[in-house]
């Protein structure tokens, strides 16, 4: 570009910018007219925050360890989550190896009763020898009692003894939240003390595989380490969530945070307050998702519901008549869209209550009434599909099968309670191998009919091919008797 043309371009720049600005202005004005309220976020949350900060607390804990091999748990958030490593609060260790040392943790919480009831995350206080609550005015109180805690939802309820009533806040209705609603988080990020951040609800009912009852609110309001256990507010100043987790490769906020919905938290906290523990409903079934391949064989036009793989003997479901192969489509008036909807619905049920289940059995709708039991602590009332993996005949979809003899039981260590036809080999790259069927798996049913001999399996497969159906439905058991359904293409 010559100097002259350069000068000419420079002289044109103001006019170019002016034209661009005018165009953007016109477009922006049109957009604001087309979308009323687009420019109206919360002009300021100062008034809301000012009335809430005194009820939000910082929580510090200390734990004494004996040495590097002490084995005391230092949790990094809800156990089992794929984001576990990013959830942790600060930990500071003091003292040489092999000597007693203190481990410190920082988190957040909030007061829900003026008498001194405080909510936080279970992972913030888990294993602590001492818990100190720090208030906005600089005062401190020692926690006198942990009224209860629940690792499955990562909630804990603490008690302090104040000399005067504390400022408290109340829960709102998290089910009323919509994606795009404004929310505000107050907490103790990085140990800095009360900090306020604002964002929107990015998603609801988010499952992050932290546990069987995942139902998180996702928000882009900045949540960082130290915010764990703090409140997420709606614009009415009500608590709609308890901040629990973040996704972050750096440990800082990247706009993806998660909160336990208030509707879940209230139920858990009420039980912790009354009983000191949770009392969840229990159905006594192991379930798996209905896949697209399974749906036609089960009489469904599309994948939905929770497929019962097995029923706990003497459990509530068994007593009510629930059977393997049933597809649970509704529970106590709630629609069950996927497998994971069922444990959440059951857990929220009332122990001892008669509930109506909408069930699809053999392609027909059936109503079944079950009296809910109480969930044993070690049971999650849920079983993921357990599709294993491994390798004769093409007619048998790549499977080599045999009667379940004592010798084969011993070889594959198959439980005595398992009955059926054993898979002794699986051909590589066969339809069966692609569905992760292993040598040692036991075929219990084919097309929802029990099989005890290899020829019965062959006959069922021939019938499926003759009918023109594209897939055959197997019910398989592993060596321990855990059941799963597998739909295999027959052509």
Catalytic residue list: 123, 154, 228
Q: Compute CA distances 283 → 86, 122, 290, 353, 376, whole Å.
A: 34, 26, 19, 11, 11
Q: Where are the alpha helices (DSSP H) in 388-478?
A: 406-412, 431-434, 454-467
The Cα–Cα gap between 198 and 235 comes to 10
The Cα–Cα gap between 370 and 294 comes to 26
The Cα–Cα gap between 71 and 478 comes to 33
Residue with tokens 């107050």: 186
Q: Are 204 and 73 in contact (CB under 8 A)?
A: no
DSSP string, 30-71: HHHHHSTTTT-S-S--HHHHHTTGGGEEEEEEEEEE-STT--
Q: Which two tokens stand for residue 462?
A: 């021939």
Work out the angle at residue 307's Cα, subtended by the Cα atoms of residues 302 and 308, and round it to the nearest 5 degrees: 165
Q: Are 396 and 461 in contact (CB under 8 A)?
A: yes
Answer positive or negative: Cα dihedral of 179, 183, 188, 190. Answer: positive
Work out the angle at residue 262's Cα, subtended by the Cα atoms of residues 166 and 225, and round it to the nearest 5 degrees: 75
Residues 6+ apart with CB under 8 A from 237: 48, 51, 52, 169
Q: Which two tokens stand for residue 152?
A: 């499955």
The Cα–Cα gap between 436 and 487 comes to 11
What is the distance, to the nearest Å, from the Cα of residue 22 to the centroid of all Cα atoms in its chain? 49
Q: Residue 201: which of 184, 224, 189 has the closest Cα?
A: 184
Q: Which two tokens stand for residue 212?
A: 């069987």
Q: Compute CA distances 364 → 295, 299, 329, 359, whole Å.
A: 13, 8, 12, 8
Q: Residue 241: which of 174, 194, 182, 189 has the closest Cα?
A: 174
Q: Are 402 and 425 in contact (CB under 8 A)?
A: no
424 sits in which H/E element: strand 421-426
Produce one character per residue of 15-34: b if its CB has 16 or more CB atoms within 10 Å, e if not. eeeeeeeeeeeeeeeeeeee
């Amino acid at each position: 570009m010559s100097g002259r043309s350069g000068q000419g371009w420079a002289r044109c720049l103001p006019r170019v910018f002016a034209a661009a600005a005018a165009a953007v202005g016109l477009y922006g004005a049109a957009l604001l007219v087309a979308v009323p309220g687009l420019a109206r976020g919360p002009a300021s949350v100062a008034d809301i925050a000012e009335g809430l900060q005194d009820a939000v607390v910082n929580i510090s804990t200390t734990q004494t360890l004996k040495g590097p091999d002490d084995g005391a748990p230092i949790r990094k958030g809800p156990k089992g989550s794929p984001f576990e490593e990013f959830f942790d609060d600060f930990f500071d260790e003091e003292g040489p190896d092999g000597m007693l040392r203190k481990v410190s943790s920082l988190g957040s919480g909030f007061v829900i009763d003026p008498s001194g009831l405080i909510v936080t995350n279970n992972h913030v206080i888990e294993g602590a020898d001492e818990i100190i609550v720090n208030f906005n005015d600089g005062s401190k109180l020692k926690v006198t009692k942990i009224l209860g805690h629940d690792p499955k939802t990562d909630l804990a309820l603490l008690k302090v003894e104040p000399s005067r009533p504390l400022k408290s806040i109340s829960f709102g209705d998290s089910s009323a939240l919509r994606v795009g609603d404004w929310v505000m988080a107050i907490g103790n990020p990085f140990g800095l003390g009360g900090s306020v951040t604002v964002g929107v609800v990015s998603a609801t009912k988010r499952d992050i595989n932290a546990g069987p009852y995942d139902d998180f609110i996702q928000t882009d309001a900045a949540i960082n380490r130290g915010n764990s256990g703090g409140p997420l507010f709606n614009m009415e100043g009500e608590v709609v969530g308890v901040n629990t987790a973040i996704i972050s490769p750096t440990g800082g906020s990247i706009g993806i945070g998660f909160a336990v919905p208030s509707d879940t938290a209230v139920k858990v906290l009420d039980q912790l307050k009354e009983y000191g523990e949770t009392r969840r409903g229990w159905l006594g079934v192991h379930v798996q998702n209905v896949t697209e391949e399974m749906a036609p064989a089960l009489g469904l036009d599309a994948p939905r519901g929770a497929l019962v793989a097995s029923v706990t003997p003497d459990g509530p479901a068994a007593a009510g008549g629930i059977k393997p192969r049933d597809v649970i489509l509704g529970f106590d008036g709630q629609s069950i869209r996927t497998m994971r909807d069922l444990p959440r619905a059951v857990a929220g049920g009332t122990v001892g209550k008669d509930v109506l289940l909408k069930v699809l059995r053999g392609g027909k709708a059936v109503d079944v009434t079950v009296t809910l039991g109480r969930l044993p602590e070690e049971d999650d009332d849920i079983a993921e599909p357990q599709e294993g993996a491994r390798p004769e005949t093409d007619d048998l979809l790549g499977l080599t099968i045999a009667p379940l003899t004592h010798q084969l039981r011993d070889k594959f260590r198959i439980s005595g309670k398992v009955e059926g036809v054993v898979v002794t080999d699986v051909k590589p790259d066969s339809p069966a191998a692609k569905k992760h069927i292993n040598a040692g798996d036991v075929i219990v049913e084919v097309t929802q009919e029990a099989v005890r001999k290899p020829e019965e399996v062959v006959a069922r497969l021939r019938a499926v091919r003759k009918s023109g159906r594209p897939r055959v439905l197997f019910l398989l058991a592993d060596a321990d008797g855990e059941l799963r359904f597998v739909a295999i293409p027959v052509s």
